[in-house]
Structure 1
Amino acid sequence: MKSAVETLNPTRVRLTVEVPFEELKDSLDAAYKKINQQVTVKGFRKGKIPARVIDQRFGRGAVLEEAVNDALPKFYNEAVNEAEVNPLGQPEVDITELKDGELLAFTAEVDVRPTIEIPDYSGIEVEVDAIEVTDEDVEKSVEQLRERFASTNPVERAAAEGDVVTVDLTAKVDGEVLPDGIADGVSYTIGSGELLDGIDAAVTGLEAGGEATFTSELKGGSAAGKEAEVTVKVTAVAARELPELDDEFAQMASEFDTLDELKADSRKRLENMKQFDQATQAQERVLEKFLELAEIPVPEKLLEDEVNTRKHNLEHHQLGQMGLSLEKYLELQGKTVEEFEAETKEQAVKGIKTQFLLDELVSTEKLNVEQDELTEHLFRRAASSGMSPDQFAQAVVQGGQVPMLVGEVARGKALAVVVEAAKVVDTNGEVVDLSDDEDEVEAAAETVEAVTGEAEAAEEK
């Protein structure tokens, strides 16, 4: 077999391949065998029809077509290996010559990973938010804990903000009660905003047995997004009572003996959260600077697949679970279709460039993924998916996604290398040292995953 490669542009090549006919022998034998199993000819047992009879009855062309279709993937892969290119997606194959007994020639155009030169990232500088936990932050955190331990007591008075009411709801659209428009015994805290728009005003001032009607846009169900006439009947009113903020509360709500110890722990937890947010912010901003330094061409077909994948996942998975259409989502976001299209394309380009650049850095720096790093990443991905580690691991193996997880960790390690080389200062002018963060690689992997999104899935497709 002879092959040659022609670079059409930085992300696409054309392979020209010539195959001597004798190299098709195995595929021709397989073609005759396959046709033998599919057809019947009077006078011959099934599977025992001679090749000359198949040629006479069904045509040599049918045999050649079957043989070529069987052989093309093998010769294409050999040509790809000879050319030392990294193909993306499926090739566009054109058979340019097929001479029976002499020659098979074809061309294959395919997108390839571009050659990327890693820029000098040692001079990257970014600024991040300083870690500041105020007394107000601590008080708010303790108050949220206090809310969780609130009790309710029935009262015989009109409902007011903060009260917990038990209500029966009936929703009508165009005067007809919806099939799923009746809900009885619903518990709702007035002012929480966790139910329908307009319900707070409707139930405030009502006593048990009181009833009101209001108009609201339904957020889910069979008529999601439609205006409905909702009748609400209050069946019970209960006042929420918060526990006193004292040492007794600290002992009830935590492992601490005093309120001061509880507050100190809250401050420490808030500092840890802000430290994590600061590290994530540093990674995101360093990645932005790193991408700006590099020249990274993006294959058109890969970009098209990535954009379509992001749109599909948003519309049919994320929004579908919330009972929202894309049109309603854009309305809520205050975006036009054109703005959404441009934003999605921009995110897709960034995701693809991030993957290409960090993969190249992984190769250049010869970064390896250790078993414990992969295990930790698997545990975190399992937790975010709501599956047990065993279930998630089984799904990953069955889906052939182990290389994808390895790639995520490797890119996280690559980004961590760039972040460690960068100068990071906070808004107070203090230098931020992220090298002591034990979870730096895993956090970087999560940052990369948030940016790349479906890029790897689109590439594999």
Structure 2
Amino acid sequence: PELDDEFARAATEFDTLEELRADLDRRLREELEAELDAQFRENAVDALVEASTVELPAEIVDRRAAELWTGMARSLDARGISTETYLTMTGQASEEVVERLRAEAARAVGREVVLEAVADQLGLEVGDEELEAFVREQAAQAEEDPDETVGRMREHGAWERLRGDLRLRKALDEVAGGVKRIPVDLAAAREKLWTPEKEKQASGMNIWTPGSEEARTQ
């Protein structure tokens, strides 16, 4: 079929091809902005991890790596693929996969440790009302019953885990708010998406890192 207004009316909710194209452009821009924002936030916390002097407990990293391996194996099994077949298909040795997963685990644990330290330093908390409001909002968006969702999460122990996750998200917001964004073209040239903010923010907040002199004097 020709890409014209008739096609737009027949195949979509729009009356004209121009409206359809405008909607596609808007969605692509939103997806790109979301991807860039997520990458920016990851880079911000990773830089804070690198700047910190915290040593990651090997047993915690090993446990997280084992969880990643188990999750990968379950995902493969759900698609009818054994880990042996996966290794053969990808041309990898099991030791290589374990090493890669351990690196991912170390990165994840490092982020959590640093964000926990930031949350402690700034006194960030997630109250019951805030937590319940978040759960109800998410349930409504998923077209689920908010009361049932709240009850289910409380019953199965997910309530406090979510509280911890939201606390880390608050810490990440603070970290991301303490760095300076630069244009994407300049970021690509520098192979970075951000630069550290050298001066105090308007709020007077300094970027603090675990193990810094300030931390040791607390």
TM-score of the pair, normalised by structure 2: 0.74
Deviations 1:253-291 (A, max 9, x none): 333221111111111111111111110111111122111
- 2:202 aligns with none
SS at match of 1:429: helix
Is the aligned partner of 1:395 residue 2:152? yes
Structure 1 residue 339: deviation in Å?
1.0
SS at match of 2:125: coil
Give the drift of 1:300.
3.0
Aligned with 2:48 (options 269, 290, 305):
290
Q: For 1:256, what is the secondary structure of its paired residue?
A: coil
Does the aligned pair in 2 maintain the 1:306–1:348 contact within 8 Å? yes
Alignment partner of 1:358 is 2:119: no
Bigger-Rg structure (1/2): 1
Deviations 1:298-334 (A, max 9, x none): 223323322222222221x212211111122223333
For 1:303 and 1:421, how far apart are their aligned partners in 2? 28
Q: Partners of 2:137 and 2:115 in 1: how far apart?
A: 23
Greater percentage in strand? 1
The answer on whether the counterparts of 1:250 and 1:257 sit within 8 Å (CA) in structure 2 is: yes
User: Which position in structure 1 is the counterpart of 2:81?
Assistant: 324
Answer 1 or 2: which has greater helix percent: 2
Regions of 4+ moved over 3 Å:
370-383, 386-395
Judge conservation of contact 2:135–2:149 (CA < 8 Å) in 1: no
Q: Are 1:314 and 2:72 matched, yes or no? A: yes
Q: Distance between the aligned counterparts of 2:106 and 2:178, measured in 1?
A: 25
Q: Distance in 1 between the 2:78 and 2:140 partners?
A: 20
Q: Secondary structure at the match of 1:423?
A: strand
1:378 Cα deviation (Å)? 6.7
Q: Which residue identity is paired with 1:411?
A: L
Root-mean-square deviation (CA, aligned residues, Å) is 2.8
Rate the CA distance shift 1:282–1:352 in 2: closer, same or farther, 3 A.
Answer: same
Structure 1's 330 and 381: CA in aligned 2 closer, same or farther, altered over 3 A?
farther
Task: Give the total of aligned pairs.
Answer: 187
CA distance in 2, matches of 1:331, 1:424: 43
RCO (CA 8 Å, sep 6+): is it higher in 1 or 2? 2
Structure 1 unaligned spans of 5+: 1-242, 434-461
In the alignment, the residues of structure 2 paired with residue 280 and residue 304 of structure 1 have an alpha-carbon distance, to the nearest angstrom, of 26
1:302 to 49, 60, 66: 60
Mapped partners of 1:292, 1:377: distance in 2: 33
Residue of 157, 173, 181 corresponding to 1:416? 173
**Is contact 1:377–1:409 with CA below 8 Å preserved after alignment?**
no
The separation in 1 between residues aligned to 2:64 and 2:173, in whole angstroms, is 25
Structure 2: segments with no counterpart, 5+ residues: 188-192, 195-218
Structure 1 residues 346 and 319, CA gap change in structure 2 (3 angstroms): same
